[in-house]
Chain A
């Protein structure tokens, strides 16, 4: 995992170098003279050679000194940590809604293959996955926030917002994510369940007159959900770091938008910190999914 992150950090530095624009120009604006911009770049150390800058940054980063944002003049660590926490909260809520919903309906669809429920879930799931987040988000906002006023229109988290207030603000941004993920997870659950129903051990369990519920929860679900768990693990990275559109639309202070703004503004300390933490979370969630799969599936633990 560490080597992957190191290579990623180098890649980010090089890519930011290639991107047009520079931090001096972003801070001073279009009406500053090239001389003024160059002077600011010099004072921010942005004109030093790439390997030197990278080395300095790396040294600071690994010793816990994540530096100062070049654009925002504030410490990187609290900024990124705060945004990351917000994104994690949103991701948790989205997962908390979509997993029971999708796994429940998907498994049901798999158990009752070719029934109305099966067709309904597959069709609806497929259709919803195709709807982009800004479309579903806008519709939800216009419907629930503007017309019905059930939920707030913006999801900024001000200090002093209690847990209930936070939940209130998170529901609408979470729903577009549920919409996008539902189809994918439901179809994986359906396929997994349908596959297990074809196996011999399932037939044996049924023929053994095992109670239906025991069959379902002891034999079907654990095996059916293996691919679904892997899929969920792979989506966590996107849920935490990839929600630029949702964050912009709902004005939610997450880490996705922080990454895009720091990339555009060439704010390297913030860009590196946010990308590496999100990448770290992505890797950890995949690892966690693998562990869970291994816990459920002894064959993974003891390959023979």
Chain B
């Protein structure tokens, strides 16, 4: 640790840990966020008397060989790292291409193509030192130019990438450069303490591609990853073979991977039961119940920030009065919802956007079902005889069942809900007709995110592009921006508590649960974890 700011910061973290103001988990996360390697952080933790963490290392004597067969959904379009968004396309590309940084399930960061990083200028300038001696699978060497081109491509208005929205207000075109060989500098629009997350796997389009990349990835797949794409049959399967010159020596253990694309959950479950595949990329309780009690099948799980936003438009009657919104939230029996939709594999949500998996998540007294209070709130808001509303929702996962539970639970309080179910494509819509952003009451699915900002800013801040509740609270939005620029742990917690309190009081959306990410594998599979974002990392996978 030659960088003085880094060792100062490490000392600061150590102080916080010893004083008990910083938990072990958050210590590791902050340490890795600031560019300490996880082994250095673990060493520091031990030195502070915090005990070992046991980061995964290449297991000696792990069984080599075998071809892993994975069941996933079907890619919605041609494979393209820059524009991909569905889990099957992402899983396919991620075997071949890599990121600067990988986010672990505990939200700590693992250096991949970036070895270390540091910030200056109050968190507004970030410099990454790149790993040397890495080659793309076509033999060309990995250099800083590739990183610069990759990120400039993502934030260019012509890219069509979802990364553009992720990086909006944080990184603008023309601000990525390479001041010296092996180093890349990002000049941000505003201080952003969690910037390393934005160039990590959590920004899933940010795989590093060669500077010479022009498009049509499916025809010429390229990357620095552990497997090469040897064949791709649209809508059916992708076959990979081991990258013999992968930069992590000794890895991967597998000889090959086959990703089988399926149209329905049912056929994936049948394939698992029939032994046609060794694991499923994503498993949801709803639809896969038979696997939960089947011998020879193991269910891996990881807490995540995956959730459903049940919003109410604050500018559409009757939800203009926050008492009505609070009343709706109070009718729900969240434990029952958690059991019936997920078999208990979820964490209760408290109507604020800080998922329990985030270390700074505040623990406010949980909102419990209270029909009496709901009725009196409705009465006070001028609806003594209840309200009639339509709940629009998309037919995805367990959302229709969730809507039915809401309907049944809200009825005794006088809230009569009519359900309007649409296919996902209709609910997202396009152009000037996007129901999920316009309906007075709706339920939409949100992908898991590694950083609270990525959940909060688009959905709950003033001017957020995906703010379906149209809620705008200046104090809340300012606090959110302040959170992004604040380093001090206890101050971050305080801000988070303030924000959660404001959001819970206003209740622009009911957030009743945070879904646990599950993954069904056969007993033969080793070296694989469930992933909070559903990503498929088979670098250390083994098959016995």
The answer to whether A and B belong to the same complex is yes
Measured CB to CB, the residues of A under 8 A from B are 20-22, 24-40, 71-74, 79, 138, 141-142, 145-146, 149, 152-154, 156, 158, 247-251, 253, 257-258, 261, 264-265
CB 8 Å contact bits of B234-274 with A (1 = contact, 0 = none): 11110000000000000000000000111110110011011
Q: Are B234 and A24 in contact (CB under 8 A)?
A: no
Question: Which residues on the B side are within 8 Å of A34 (C-beta)?
Answer: 430-431, 434
Q: Are A247 and B263 in contact (CB under 8 A)?
A: yes
Cβ of B293 to closest chain A Cβ, rounded Å: 14
Q: Point out the residue from B429, B433, B465 that lies within 8 Å of A33, measured CB to CB.
A: B465
Q: List 30 A-B contacts (CB under 8 A).
A: A20-B433, A21-B430, A22-B430, A24-B430, A25-B430, A26-B425, A28-B162, A31-B466, A34-B431, A40-B160, A72-B77, A73-B216, A73-B218, A79-B234, A142-B270, A142-B273, A146-B270, A152-B274, A152-B276, A153-B270, A153-B273, A153-B274, A153-B275, A156-B260, A158-B233, A251-B262, A251-B263, A253-B235, A261-B235, A264-B425
Q: Are B430 and A153 in contact (CB under 8 A)?
A: no
Complex: A250 Cα to B276 Cα, angstroms? 12
Question: Which residues on the B side are within 8 Å of A25 (C-beta)?
Answer: 425, 428-430
Complex: A282 Cα to B431 Cα, angstroms? 37
Cβ of B78 < 8 Å from any Cβ of A? yes
Cβ of B76 < 8 Å from any Cβ of A? yes
Q: Point out the residue from A32, A72, A251 that lies within 8 Å of B78, measured CB to CB.
A: A72
Known: A29-B84, A36-B157, A146-B273. 6 other contacts (CB 8 A): A26-B425, A27-B83, A71-B78, A79-B234, A149-B274, A247-B263
Q: Point out the residue from B160, B165, B261 that lies within 8 Å of A39, measured CB to CB.
A: B160
Q: Are A154 and B160 in contact (CB under 8 A)?
A: no
Q: Are B430 and A29 in contact (CB under 8 A)?
A: no
Q: Are A251 and B158 in contact (CB under 8 A)?
A: no
Question: Which residues on the B side are within 8 Å of A265 (C-beta)?
Answer: 76-77, 425
- Contacts known (A20-B425, A31-B165, A79-B234); A71 close to B76, Cβ less than 8 A: yes
- Give the contacts of B169-193 with A (CB-CB under 8 A): none
Cβ of B85 < 8 Å from any Cβ of A? yes
Interface size on B, residues (CB 8 A): 47
Name the CB-closest residue of A to B231: A159
Complex: A74 Cα to B428 Cα, angstroms? 26
Q: Are B164 and A36 in contact (CB under 8 A)?
A: yes
Question: Which residues on the B side are within 8 Å of A74 (C-beta)?
Answer: 78, 234
Cβ of B277 to closest chain A Cβ, rounded Å: 8
CB 8 Å contact bits of B220-241 with A (1 = contact, 0 = none): 0000000000000111110000
Question: Which residues on the A side are within 8 Å of B160 (C-beta)?
Answer: 27-28, 32, 36, 39-40
Q: Are B236 and A156 in contact (CB under 8 A)?
A: yes
Question: Which residues on the A side are within 8 Å of B336 (C-beta)?
Answer: none
Q: Are A30 and B274 in contact (CB under 8 A)?
A: no
Complex: A33 Cα to B426 Cα, angstroms? 16
Question: Which residues on the B side are within 8 Å of A153 (C-beta)?
Answer: 270-271, 273-276
Cβ of B505 < 8 Å from any Cβ of A? no
CB 8 Å contact bits of B187-231 with A (1 = contact, 0 = none): 000000000000000000000000000001010000000000000
Complex: A74 Cα to B158 Cα, angstroms? 22
Measured CB to CB, the residues of B under 8 A from A are 76-78, 83-86, 157-162, 164-166, 216, 218, 233-237, 260-264, 266-267, 270-271, 273-276, 423, 425-426, 428-431, 433-434, 465-466
Question: Which residues on the A side are within 8 Å of B275 (C-beta)?
Answer: 149, 153
Complex: A301 Cα to B54 Cα, angstroms? 85
Complex: A35 Cα to B430 Cα, angstroms? 11
Q: Are A73 and B78 in contact (CB under 8 A)?
A: yes
Question: Which residues on the B side are within 8 Å of A73 (C-beta)?
Answer: 77-78, 216, 218
Q: Are B428 and A30 in contact (CB under 8 A)?
A: yes
Name the CB-closest residue of B to A134: B266
Q: Point out the residue from B157, B162, B431, B433 that lies within 8 Å of A31, measured CB to CB.
A: B162
Question: Which residues on the A side are within 8 Å of B85 (C-beta)?
Answer: 28-31
Cβ of A183 to closest chain B Cβ, rounded Å: 25
Question: Which residues on the B side are within 8 Å of A33 (C-beta)?
Answer: 164-165, 465
Name the CB-closest residue of B to A24: B430
Q: Point out the residue from A26, A141, A142, A156 that lies within 8 Å of B76, measured CB to CB.
A: A26
Q: Are B274 and A146 in contact (CB under 8 A)?
A: yes
Name the CB-closest residue of A to B166: A31
- Contacts known (A28-B85, A72-B77, A73-B216); A253 close to B236, Cβ less than 8 A: yes
Question: Which residues on the A side are within 8 Å of B430 (C-beta)?
Answer: 20-22, 24-25, 34, 37
Complex: A146 Cα to B266 Cα, angstroms? 13
Question: Which residues on the A side are within 8 Å of B426 (C-beta)?
Answer: 20-21
Cβ of B51 to closest chain A Cβ, rounded Å: 40
Q: Point out the residue from B84, B157, B431 that lies within 8 Å of A37, measured CB to CB.
A: B431
- Contacts known (A20-B433, A27-B83); A154 close to B78, Cβ less than 8 A: no
Question: Which residues on the A side are within 8 Å of B428 (C-beta)?
Answer: 21, 25, 30
Name the CB-closest residue of A to B215: A73
Q: Are A156 and B237 in contact (CB under 8 A)?
A: yes
Q: Are A141 and B264 in contact (CB under 8 A)?
A: no
Complex: A79 Cα to B78 Cα, angstroms? 13
Question: Which residues on the B side are within 8 Å of A32 (C-beta)?
Answer: 83, 160-162, 164-165
Q: Are A26 and B162 in contact (CB under 8 A)?
A: no
Complex: A138 Cα to B287 Cα, angstroms? 13
Name the CB-closest residue of B to A248: B263
Question: Which residues on the B side are within 8 Å of A36 (C-beta)?
Answer: 157, 159-161, 164
Q: Are B77 and A27 in contact (CB under 8 A)?
A: yes
Complex: A66 Cα to B338 Cα, angstroms? 50
Name the CB-closest residue of B to A250: B267
Name the CB-closest residue of B to A156: B236
Question: Which residues on the A side are within 8 Å of B158 (C-beta)?
Answer: 39
Complex: A24 Cα to B160 Cα, angstroms? 9
Q: Are A154 and B263 in contact (CB under 8 A)?
A: no
Complex: A141 Cα to B428 Cα, angstroms? 34
Question: Which residues on the A side are within 8 Å of B274 (C-beta)?
Answer: 141, 145-146, 149, 152-154
Cβ of B331 to closest chain A Cβ, rounded Å: 29
Q: Are B264 and A249 in contact (CB under 8 A)?
A: yes
Complex: A21 Cα to B433 Cα, angstroms? 9
